[in-house]
Structure 1
Amino acid sequence: MHVVVTGGAGFLGSRLIRALLDTPAAPDRPAVTRITSLDLAPCPIEDERLTSLTGDISDPELIRQALTEDTTAVCHLAAVVSSQAEAEFELGMRINLDATRALLEQCRAHSQQIRFLFASSLAVFGPPASEPVPENIAPEPRSSYGIQKAIGELLVNDYSRRGFIDGRVCRLPTVVVRPGRPNRAASSFASSIIREPVAGEEAVCPVATDLPLWLSSPRAVVANLVRALQLTPEALGAQWRTFNLPGLTVTVDEMLKALERQVGSETRRLVRFERDPAIEAIAASWPGALETHRARALGLEADADFDAVIRAHLEEMDHPVA
């Protein structure tokens, strides 16, 4: 089984690759024998089954190199993140929309029907009229990133309806705690206010303490992506191929209380508040809770609570994910 992972050098992409390589074969599922990562940089994992192709994901030639005759699945994680897509409109359109279409077209031209997993986002929703947001509500995004992801969802569903691919669309919660340094995602603060204080550094929170966020740990998201990729067409059915990944509703204040419980009161004092209207407007447009009945019925699961999310981060600090 050959799997192509776009965004494979990123923190979620590399974790997904590691999880796929570590997943054993089963009676209803062949083992992954080869993975190709597409990204601007090589995937940091060292494994003889992994090949890294570096370049612009919107380059059709790069996509043609990646999708070989033995390709059976594509996991499309590559994206320009929210604030950057808002600030650099052309770049967001090229990577988040044009590259998705080019990738789908190459899959359509393949000799066999490819299983296609598309990582979407809760950013496809606008400010909710009620929460949790129903699974069948029409997206009304309030950002260029959300609009680009929503169009990608529609394309994957239509290509699946036409039989060009075997698609599944996973709307990811905000993933916490991301390692490394802050990036240009509007949600970057959600990791910073945990990650930096744990490391003894000051963090800035640009939003109000009562803002609810829909969150998941990297560990839970990767496990759910693996499970979503493994789902058979029969399990998904002929219906709409989009579902919300399970998550937790947590306010910023609740996040900081969990931080204090798990690490100590001194860590919470390292978080200072400087409201940023631009960041707050984007983050406040996302729902704080989503219905996940379909995903849970398919075997996908959420973290137990936010304390468990912090404990998972502390474990990874002691034993970094390769």
Structure 2
Amino acid sequence: MHILILGAAGMVGRKLLARLVQDGQLGGTPISRLTLHDVVAPEAPAGLRAPVSLSASDFSLPGEAERLVSGRPDVIFHLAAIVSGEAEADFDKGYRINLDGTRRLFDAVRAIGEGYCPRLVFTSSLAVFGAPMPEVIGDEYLTAPLTSYGTQKAIGELLLSDYTRRGIFDGIGIRLPTICVRPGKPNKAASGFFSGIIREPLAGQEAVLPVPDSVRHWHASPRAAVGFLLHAATIEGARLGDRRNLTMPGVSVTVAEQIEALRRIAGDAVVARIRREPDPTIERIVAGWPRAFDARRARELGFTAELDFDSIIRAHIEDELGGRIAA
């Protein structure tokens, strides 16, 4: 099996790659080739007995998507994107990468023609929903984004459904919860503080909280995100029918509940490293985001996630901190 990962140098891409290398197979089929791409050079994995191609470029440029799919990958993981805060701050860049790049990728698959129909897994976002919203959003609720990022992802979902209907590829779009706790350094995502108020205090550093404690949001761990991607790549298309975009399961908690989970696991001294510093721009963006979901369809199709925020914190401590918390 030949697998292409777009966005392979990102956090989720790296964790997905590590799992694929560990397993050596996907859905019972051995991995025969990996093509890894990002805007910066991905690192070659160790331990996989199969050819690996590394590539760094702007995949939205003419000819790049065609080059990437020329090897006719069997599975394409499309993780590449400009994140929410950056897409809102840089209108042109957001649309060029998140919309034009996605369309170029889809059309590159189409250009190969009859006889080629890969599974294409597209990472969408909860930002496709916009206020006013019910407290819990079900599978039938409409997408009505209120940010440029959400709009770009919603258009990607529609394109994926139509290209799948036309038999160009076998697509599935997964709306990821906010991935928490994200390891490494903060990125430009407006949601970054959700991870920051856990990650930095556990590492012995101060964290800034830019929104009120009452803000509620939908979360899943990096572990769960990798599980979503693997299941999306292997689930039978017939089970999905014509509705190819799914909201993934997660945990709905307020910022206050996040902090209390951190207190239960790490104690008062760690929580004291959180400093409140309101940011009206972040508050405005987050106010338009959904708070909780009834992801019944995804669960019935076999997608799974943590059941509480304590489990999300413990996964971070185990996977990223070697089980240790900074004093």
Q: Same fold (TM over 0.5)?
A: yes
CA distance in 2, matches of 1:20, 1:133: 32
State the Cα deviation string for residues 236-283 of structure 1 (Å, max 9, x = none): 22x210111110001000000011111111111111111111101111
Q: Tell me if structure 1 keeps the 8 A contact 2:66–2:109.
A: no
State the Cα deviation string for residues 6-54 of structure 1 (Å, max 9, x = none): 110000011112222333558x642222221110222234235332110
Count of equivalent residues: 318
Offset, 1:162: 1.0
Pairing 1:138–2:142 present = yes
Alignment correspondent of 1:251: 254
Which of 74, 82, 85 is 1:80 aligned to?
82
Alignment correspondent of 2:9: 9
Pairing 1:264–2:263 present = no
Offset, 1:129: 2.8
Indicate the SS of the match to 2:75. Answer: strand
Offset, 1:64: 2.1
TM-score normalised according to structure 2 size: 0.93
Q: Tell me if structure 2 keeps the 8 A contact 1:14–1:45.
A: no
1:146-185 equivalence runs, <5 A? 146-185=150-189
1:1-322 equivalence runs, <5 A? 1-23=1-23, 25=25, 29-47=28-46, 49=50, 50-110=52-112, 111-237=115-241, 239-319=242-322
Contiguous gaps of at least 5 residues in structure 1: none
Paired AA for residue 230 in structure 1: T
| Root mean square deviation, CA, Å | 1.6
Change (3 A) 1:18 1:128: farther
Q: Tell me if structure 2 keeps the 8 A contact 1:212–1:251.
A: yes
Offset, 1:294: 1.0
Paired AA for residue 138 in structure 1: L
Contiguous gaps of at least 5 residues in structure 2: none
Indicate the SS of the match to 1:96. Answer: helix
CA distance in 1, matches of 2:211, 2:38: 32
Indicate the SS of the match to 2:63. Answer: helix
TM-score normalised according to structure 1 size: 0.95
State the Cα deviation string for residues 183-216 of structure 1 (Å, max 9, x = none): 1100000010001100111111001101101000
* Segments ≥4 residues shifted beyond 6 Å: none
Paired AA for residue 232 in structure 1: E
**Percent of pairs identical after alignment?**
43
CA distance in 1, matches of 2:133, 2:210: 24
CA distance in 2, matches of 1:69, 1:57: 16
